[in-house]
């Protein structure tokens, strides 16, 4: 019996492709350049890895699509409503990325606060000739105030870690989370108060119409001058022009971004010239174990969708 056919947005590394190969026949995204016809009609699944938009017009070209399986938790690139309207199931990988993304949040916060990247460059440079106690004074993480925006699964993991650093933890979320307050000792805060008080502001929200541009000029100006902004969520949550102004004019002390808008930033983007910015290339969930967990979950969603069974992790349009 022939295997169901799926489209893959960007080529997968071998160890990930091996998880899919027994279950489906994989076609490249470039297939969509072909005119409508039997091959496109035969596509039953989409596996997204590289964040390509999966929305209306594309879905119209694949009339027999059953499932969109996303390798990752954030499905901001998938029009879930349009899929639901066509009876197409959408799957993601919650849980697989929570701990690692929270680890990355802490790593970026510490890196920005303690000049890890600048310090590394300096320690390798000819300029480092002798120990100097006035070198690169940083900010203290322990005992300071952390503001977590988005108290979902990742936000909670960040809070758990921050408790080990004796931080006071404020959080802002669409809904107050009394259980998290009780379990993690976090304090609910209006966004304005959080921005005004936090030494570190961590963005842990999904990208939605509500969170796009959430941190712009007004919010950055409201932050403390010694504050650091950490974004492991999605680039468009932060306005990049406003962030550049904030960092170069000293409205805030620093930022650490694992995600940007656009991503990657153009090589001549002014943010790339700033020393008070730590930047990583979307490594939030980049550990080998987490990649494998994500691959297994994404495969299970894909296979279930191809069999017209309920997905183990199905995304639903809110409301």
Instruction: Report, as residue numbers or ranges, the catalytic residues.
Output: 234, 263, 282
- Would you give the end-to-end CA distance of the chain in angstroms? 40
How long a stretch of residues is the chain?
319
Interaction between residue 254 and ligand 8YV (CB under 6 A)? no
Q: Verify binding: residue 299, ligand 8YV, rule CB under 6 A.
A: no
Nearer to ligand 8YV, 71 or 200 (CB): 71
Contact 144, 197 (CB under 8 A): no
> Cα–Cα distance between 287 and 211 in angstroms, integer?
27
Query: 95-114 mask for ligand 8YV (x: CB under 6 A)?
Result: --x-----------------
Q: Is 8 among the residues that bind ligand 8YV (CB under 6 A)?
A: no
Q: Supply the minimum distance, in Å, between the C-beta of residue 302 and ligand 8YV.
A: 15
Total of chain residues touching ligand 8YV, rule CB under 6 A: 9
The residue among 143 and 312 lying less far from ligand 8YV, judged by its C-beta, is 312
Q: Is 130 helix (H, G, I), strand (E, B) or coil?
A: coil
The least distance separating ligand 8YV from the CB of residue 284, rounded to whole angstroms, comes to 5
* Residue 12 is a binding residue for ligand 8YV (CB under 6 A): no
Answer whether 15's CB lies under 8 Å from 311's CB.
no
Is residue 152 part of the contact set for ligand 8YV (CB under 6 A)? no
CB atoms within 10 A of CB 256: 27
Out of 5, 44, 51, 293, name the contact with ligand 8YV by CB under 6 A. 51
Stretch of 14-22, 67-75, 210-218, 296-304 lying at the interface with ligand 8YV (CB under 6 A): 67-75
**Taking CB under 6 A as the rule, does residue 91 contact ligand 8YV?**
no
Q: Is 49 in the site for ligand 8YV (CB under 6 A)?
A: yes
Q: Is 27 helix (H, G, I), strand (E, B) or coil?
A: strand
Between residues 113 and 233, which has the closer beta carbon with respect to ligand 8YV?
Answer: 233
Residues 70, 91: Cα–Cα separation, whole Å: 6
Q: 124 or 288, CB closer to ligand 8YV?
A: 288
Nearer CB in complex with ligand 8YV: 74/198? 74
Q: How far is CA 198 from the centre of its chain?
A: 21
**How far is residue 292's CA from residue 57's CA, in Å, rounded to a whole number?**
32
DSSP string for 240-297: HHHHHHHHHTTSSSEEEES--SSSSPPTT-GGGG-TTEEE-SS-TT-SHHHHHHHHHH
Binding site for ligand 8YV (CB under 6 A): 49, 51, 71-74, 97, 284-285
């Amino acid at each position: 019996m022939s295997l169901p056919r799926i489209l893959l947005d960007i080529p997968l590394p071998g160890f990930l492709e091996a998880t899919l190969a027994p279950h489906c026949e994989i076609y490249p995204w470039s297939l969509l350049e072909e005119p409508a016809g039997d091959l496109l009609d035969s596509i039953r699944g989409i596996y997204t890895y590289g964040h390509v938009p999966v929305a209306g017009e594309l879905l119209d070209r694949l009339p027999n699509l059953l499932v969109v399986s996303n390798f990752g938790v954030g499905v901001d690139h998938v029009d879930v409503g349009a899929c639901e309207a066509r009876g197409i199931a959408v799957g993601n990988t919650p849980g697989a990325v929570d701990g690692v993304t929270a680890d990355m949040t802490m790593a970026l916060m510490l890196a920005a606060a303690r000049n890890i990247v600048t310090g590394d460059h300096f320690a390798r440079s000819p300029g480092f000739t002798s120990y100097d106690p006035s070198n690169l004074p940083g900010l203290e993480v322990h005992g300071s105030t952390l503001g977590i925006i988005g108290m979902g699964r990742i936000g909670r993991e960040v809070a758990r870690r921050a408790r080990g650093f004796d931080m006071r933890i404020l959080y802002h979320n669409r809904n107050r989370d009394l259980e998290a307050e009780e379990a993690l000792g976090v304090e609910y805060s209006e966004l304005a108060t959080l921005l005004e008080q936090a030494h570190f502001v961590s963005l842990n929200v999904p990208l939605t119409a509500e969170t796009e541009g959430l941190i712009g000029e007004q919010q950055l100006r409201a932050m403390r001058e010694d504050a650091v902004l950490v974004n492991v969520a999605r680039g468009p949550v932060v306005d990049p022009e406003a962030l550049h102004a904030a960092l170069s004019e000293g409205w805030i002390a620093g930022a650490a971004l694992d995600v940007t808008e656009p991503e990657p930033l153009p090589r001549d983007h002014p943010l790339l010239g700033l020393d008070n910015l730590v930047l990583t290339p979307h490594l939030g969930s980049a550990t080998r174990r987490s990649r494998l967990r994500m691959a297994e979950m994404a495969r299970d969603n894909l296979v279930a969708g191809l069999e017209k069974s309920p997905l183990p992790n199905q995304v639903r349009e809110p409301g």
